[in-house]
Every structure is written in C-alpha cells, then in structure tokens.
Amino acid sequence: MIDDALYEPPALPEGTLRVIPLGGLGEVGRNMTVFEFGGKLLIVDAGVLFPEEHQPGVDLILPDFTPIRDRLDDVLGVVLTHGHEDHIGAVPYLLRLRGDIPLIGSSLTLALIEAKLKEHRIKPYTLTVAEGQQEKLGPFDLEFVAVNHSIPDALAVAIKTPAGVVLHTGDFKMDQLPLDNRLTDLRAFAKLGEAGIDLFLVDSTNADVPGFTPLERAIGPVLEQVIARAPRRVIVASFSSHVHRVQQVLDAAHANGRRVALMGRSMVRNMGIAADLGYLKVPQGVLIDAKKAPDLPDDKVVYMSTGSQGEPMAVLARIANMEHQIEIGEGDTVILASSLIPGNENAVYRVINGLTKLGANVVHKGNAKVHVSGHAAAGELLYCYNILKPKNVMPVHGEYRHLVANAQLARDTGIPEANTIVGGNGTVVDLKDGVAKVVGRVDIGMVYVDGSSVGEIDEADLKDRRVLAEEGFISIFTVVDPATGHIVAGPEVHARGFAPDERIFDEVIPKIRQALIEAAENGTRDTHALSQVVRRTVGRWVNTKHRRRPMIVPIVIGG
C-alpha cells in the first residue's frame, strides 16, 4: 500500500542518512534520488519523462527540484548511472540552477551528457569513473559496480555512510552473453552483500515479468533475416542511445550488402560519440550520409532512425505522416526495434497504422523477436535478493504495479514486509543502524518543459489545452451601454473546432440577449459580471443541446 498522505518530515537526526526520490517512482522516467547525510547532498541520476497524449504541447517533464532548490550549495555531485534520457535528460535544467555541480559517471555516459550540455551552452565539471573504482565525496564513500543494460558502460553505485550502506542498481539486467562481454558483476554484488547492504534501491521495470530477460544476442539473427527478406528499403527505429541495437543493425546490413544511413540529430550525435569511444564497431564502408542514401538502389540501403515511441517530431512519425523526404511505399520494411514505454501505446500504434496504410511491412516486438528489454525480470531480481540479502528494500524505477511486484519478490526471499518500502515520489526515508523507515512525504509535482518555458504551465493549463483539442472554442463578443447595461452591439459568436456551420448559434443568440437584458434590469453594470452571465447562458445551452463542454470565452465591453 502506498501512502500518499503529505506530512512534513522531521529535522534530520544526527548520524542518519535521508533518502528522497524526486522522480521515477510510479512512472517509467525522470529518475532522480537525493541522499542527505551530515548536511550534504548527493544526487543519483536526473532524468526526464516523455509526455503522454493527455499532456498536449509538453516537450518534456522534469523532476521537481523544489526540495533542494534552496540547498544547491550543499550538493556534492550527481552520479549518473548510464546515458539514457530518463536518467540524464534533466541535468541541463539542474545545472541552469547551479552550473558547477560535479557530474560523476562512466566514459560513455559523460560523453553523451557533455554533448547534450554543449547544446545548452553549459560546460560541466566531470569525474570519469569505472567499475571497481571508489571515490569519496564528503561523507559519501562511493563504489561503482558494472551492470549490464541496453546501453554500454552502465554502473550501479554503492553509497557508504556512517548510517549504513545503500546499493542503487540504476537500470540493469543479467544477460549472461552480452554483446560487449560486460556482465553484471555478481561477484562485486556478493562482496557488498557479505559486508552488509542496509538499503537496496532496485530497478523494478520488469518485476512483474516471470523468468529471465532473453539474451540480446538473439536479436541479431532475426534482424539479419528480416533485412535479407526485405525487397526494398528498410527503416529501423530505435532509441537514439541504444548502441547495442544500432551495432546489430550495422552488422545485419553489412551481412546483406546494404549501407546504413543514420537519421535524426540525436541518433547521429550519439552514434558518433559511441564510435569515437570504441563502443560502436562500424564495419568498413557501411555508413553513408543520409543525403546520399536516395542515390542507392532501394535494396541496398537501411535507414536507422529515431521515433520508436511514436514521438510526433521524431523521424518515424514524420515518415508515417508523409512529412519527411523518405516516402514509404509498397515493399518497404519498417522495424520497430524497441519495447513500448507505458503510456506510449496509442502513439506507437498510430504510427504503425500510418505506415501500414502506406504499404509498408511493419515488423515489431509483437510479431517478431526484434527487441529484448534492458531490465531484469523476476528471476534475475530473485537472484539479486538471494545474493545480497539486504536488510531493507525500496523498489525504484517503475509504475506502481512494478514497485509492488518487486516488493513481493523481496518478501518471497525472506525480507520482512516491514522492511520493504513501496514509496512514491517525495517519500522521505531515513536510514540508521540497519533500520529504514518512512518519516514523511514532501509535496512535489510535475515540472513541464514547453518550448523555452520551464515550470510555467500547470495542470490547469493542460486542462484548457485538452478542452480546446477535444471540445473546441466559442467566443462571444458584446458591447453594452455602461450607463444602462443595454446591448449596443452583438452578441457576435465565433467558434473553432465546435461545429462546421456557425448558423448553429442562431438559436442561442436570443438567449444571450434575454439574459443580458434581465441582468441590466436587475441593476448589473459590471462588464465582468455580465460576461459571466453570457458564459453561464452559453454553457447551459451547449451542455443541454449538444452534450459538449467547449472552452467559452465571453467578452463584454462598455461602449
């Protein structure tokens, strides 16, 4: 049971470690956790969440920095577990508040965030770390552990303080035959377990999936077969940071005598970084500039693009909407080499339908094995619990159903129910002497990025946008005599997205006039009060006659 009640946590007792997740609990995205000890703060990850359909116009959603906004000088550093957007995407917005916060992460992770920060004109302070390395930041002793994920160079971090030891997995799985031969280091996990883990923060995304996550290596042969059978062009969509998947596409294209063109700014940038650092092995001559790809025969090219989640501005969605230079036709093959992030299903299926309507053969996880998850399934999590034997567990990174399933796995391995904490964003957990307990919950919310504005729109604005999108807009303009309240001009009614013929309003205009006349006879002269009379009159008519709730904007002026 998740306690959503707000209650102010007490002052942090001496010798106690405080843990506050600011994002990533109850959602798949915007992962960020704050650790406090001895008046100093350590942050693990700062990611973004991508908007859903009920958040029109929103570009990104950030963690709520409010609990630390007045304490940024106390932040000793941000540990970045890996280079996915849901773990690093909010870093530029955090560094806008204080630009010299050190960033700690692996070589690839820091290279990806540095490229992103360059676009924001921010030059960060960084510390590159690797598995097995230990670093001390104030009262926090950090030890980094290799973990396998769908991007190279991912790290778990053990945070050691006088109050106890916390192990944060970041995102991970236990692929026993990884493409880069970099295993999740269970020996290091075992050593930490033997020394004692007081609190285990563990990835929950696949906690409700039984068994083990399939091997990444199983994808390569399938991609090769699909490309071999494709009569014309092939377009593969994946995350722009999924180096392993891009590697498999490069290899499959090379095996079939095809060239590969990278599409999308983030894809080109990230793969350039991965290749420069040696994480992406590009077969000789396989890459071609996207501008030159149309000159090749259709059966000799593969496009590697962004947009596997149906993002409206990404390459694949623009192709499906015929807003891109690539025009899909009969015989083309589109491969969606990714899983569905919860909440994106409708957007993805809309893209699939659009591509299918244009004649493409769309291959996705539902009809071919073209993707495996980067997250540990239930069997792998059970292994971790049995190896580590943590005293307390707090599942992170997942929707509530994932958190609850993960907590149950912990209990199945013998961890007492009282020691499994299923929290939400803002839950405050204190750790001392092997005891972790919820001591409060801070009020945090969604921070929306809309163009250049950050945090300026709220739920009321989004509600207005949804009304405009779904129900339309009606404006009513009227001029009244300020002395008598009598109508001088109007009412004029205009609408957008409500009805194709504005003659529909001929029925309500007499009702508006009558309501204004009655208000004037009752002594009402204030134009704001008269505008509310108009709003109520039109609202009742629209709701009764048309069963609709459009946005109604009455304008009454004195003249």
Which residue in the block uniquely carries the two structure tokens 């069963």? Answer: 547
Report yes or no: 475 and 495 within 8 Å, Cβ to Cβ. Answer: yes
Token pair of 37 as six digits: 């000890």
CATH T-level assignment (fold) for domain 459-558:
Ubiquitin-like (UB roll) (3.10.20)
Residue intervals in the chain for CATH 3.10.20.580? 459-558
Residue intervals in the chain for CATH 3.60.15.10? 17-211+373-440
Report yes or no: 88 and 45 within 8 Å, Cβ to Cβ. Answer: yes
CATH of domain 216-363: 3.40.50.10710
Token pair of 513 as six digits: 């006039």
Report yes or no: 244 and 180 within 8 Å, Cβ to Cβ. Answer: yes
CATH T-level assignment (fold) for domain 17-211+373-440:
Metallo-beta-lactamase; Chain A (3.60.15)
- DSSP-assigned letter for residue 144: E
* Entry pTM: 0.81
pLDDT of residue 87: 95
Q: Is the dihedral of CA 382, 386, 391, 396 positive or negative?
A: negative
Residue type, 161: T
136, containing H or E segment? strand 134-137
Strand positions, DSSP E, 3-68: 17-23, 32-37, 40-44, 60-62
Report yes or no: 331 and 229 within 8 Å, Cβ to Cβ. Answer: no
pLDDT of residue 4: 60
pLDDT of residue 559: 64
pLDDT of residue 186: 95
pLDDT of residue 132: 95
What is the rounded distance in angstroms from the CA atom of residue 300 to the CA atom of residue 226?
Answer: 14
Written as tens digits, the pLDDT of the chain (559 aa) is: 455 666 789 999 999 999 999 999 988 889 999 999 999 999 999 998 876 555 555 667 889 999 999 999 999 999 999 999 999 999 999 999 999 999 999 999 999 999 999 988 999 999 999 999 999 999 999 999 999 998 999 999 999 999 999 999 999 999 999 988 999 999 999 999 999 999 999 999 999 999 999 998 888 898 999 999 999 989 888 888 889 989 999 999 999 999 999 988 888 999 999 999 999 999 998 999 988 988 999 899 999 987 656 465 577 778 777 777 888 888 888 888 877 666 666 777 888 888 888 888 888 877 777 788 889 999 999 999 999 999 999 999 999 999 999 999 999 999 999 999 999 999 999 999 999 999 999 988 878 776 555 655 666 655 555 555 556 677 878 887 776 767 777 777 777 666 666 677 777 778 877 777 777 777 776 777 777 877 788 777 777 776 667 777 777 777 6
pLDDT of residue 378: 96
Residue intervals in the chain for CATH 3.40.50.10710? 216-363
Residue type, 536: R
pLDDT of residue 344: 63
Which residue in the block uniquely carries the two structure tokens 């969605």? Answer: 317
Per the DSSP assignment, residues forming a β-bridge with 160 are: 141, 165
Rounded to the nearest 10°, the torsion over CA 177, 168, 61, 89 is -60
Rounded to the nearest 10 degrees, the angle between the axes of helix 186-195 and helix 378-388 is: 40
